[in-house]
Amino acid sequence: MKKYLFFFFLFPALNGWAQHDSIRTDVKLNVLAPMLGLADISLEHRLCKNFSLTGEFGYQVYGFPKGDTQWVKPSGYRAIVELRRYNLFGGGEKYYSLTGWYCGVDLFYKYNRYNETLTYLNENDTLTHHDSFSMEKNVFGGNLILGYQSVFAKHFCFDIHGGPGMMYRSIIDHNIEFGMVHGDYFSGGKDLAPFFAEQDYRASSGTTFSLRFSLGIGYIIN
């Protein structure tokens, strides 16, 4: 988190990046998305004066294999719509450009499926059991956004933003063999809910806190 805050406030402090270079439309790549296995692209366009609308789409291009049995091919995607308001602190009323500090709100939807593993015990023996199964997750929600966008090298832009929000997620497991009715239990105890919640299993379905952080590099179309 300290690293994120450092980058968040470092770049706006570099006043050599011309805030008043004009941006009406730009296309950006999220450079953090590959860490999640995603290829992510967004298009931003000025609606009027200090307001813009952004559409973003990410597609999972690779997964992180878990376990010996691969029930599904890992896949997923996400879609985000974001409304921004620039010129937060005044001083640019006669120059409307998608640069400087901005605030906004977004709505998002995410879907992905992947393979998981679980190690558990059974009260009728002393063996350690291993289970491989698949997970399917649907998530939708919204965030409040605070960010900063600037121009560099005339035709390129840098965008950093983040913020908290809320989301609802529905998580379903498939082909799981674990069953408490058969005397199975997790090594941490028979109450599996804390473990499921930690691993994003079915027990963690419901409404929860959301946090977004994005770092984009883009090309200015006009």
- Cα separation, 136 vs 71, in Å, equals 11
Q: What is the pLDDT of residue 95?
A: 56
Q: Could you give phi then psi for residue 18, rounded to 5 degrees? A: -70, 110
Shortest CA distance to 80 belongs to which of 114, 51, 116, 105? 105
- Cα separation, 79 vs 82, in Å, equals 10
- Cα separation, 135 vs 3, in Å, equals 31
Task: Name the residue with tokens 């200015």.
Answer: 220
Q: What is the pLDDT of residue 11?
A: 46
* Alpha carbons within 13 A on the beta-carbon side of 142: 8
Q: What is the pLDDT of residue 120?
A: 74
Q: What is the pLDDT of residue 123?
A: 77
Q: What is the pLDDT of residue 20?
A: 45
Residues with pLDDT less than 50, the chain = 2-20, 93-94, 189-195, 197-198, 200, 202-203
pTM over 0.85: no
